[in-house]
Amino acid sequence: MRPRARAVAAVLLGATLAACSVSVGGPGPGPSGSAPATPVTPAASRPSATAPSPGAVAIGDFVFEPADLTVRPGAVVTVRNTDPVDHTLTAQDRSFDTGTIAPGASATFTAPAQPGAYAYLCTLHHFMRGILTVS
């Protein structure tokens, strides 16, 4: 009985060694080969600049155009004088004022930070009026 048992053990041992040699000799896992994903950022989907839209007023024939303008708080408003005479765009409460704008010239003022409706006029021609709405 004993020699047979030894033979069985030898066979089992050989099988185990063979299995071991196979697993040891195999190539390692190594890099999987999956390249890092290339970041794809479509430029078209970029949100446009969200700066407050600047306002613009033109003065022509002694009229503000548009007379009623709505802008964001703190927006810079450009006023262009297309008349052959001086004008101003001045808040009634003096919260903003372009000062005198020469014929053909432009000036800017900064809208108030406080939302609200601001009546303005031309200090040289008081019949020229408008309302700046800040919201």
User: Which residue ranges make up the site for Cu ion (CB under 5 A)?
Assistant: 87, 122, 124-125, 128
Rounded least distance, CB 125 to Cu ion, Å:
4
129 token code pair: 């009026």
Closer CB to Cu ion, 87 or 95, in the complex = 87
Rounded least distance, CB 135 to Cu ion, Å:
26
Distance, first Cα to last Cα, the chain: 103
Residue showing tokens 């708080």: 73
Closer CB to Cu ion, 112 or 130, in the complex = 130
3-state helix, strand, coil in the chain (%, to 5): 20, 35, 45
Closer CB to Cu ion, 46 or 126, in the complex = 126
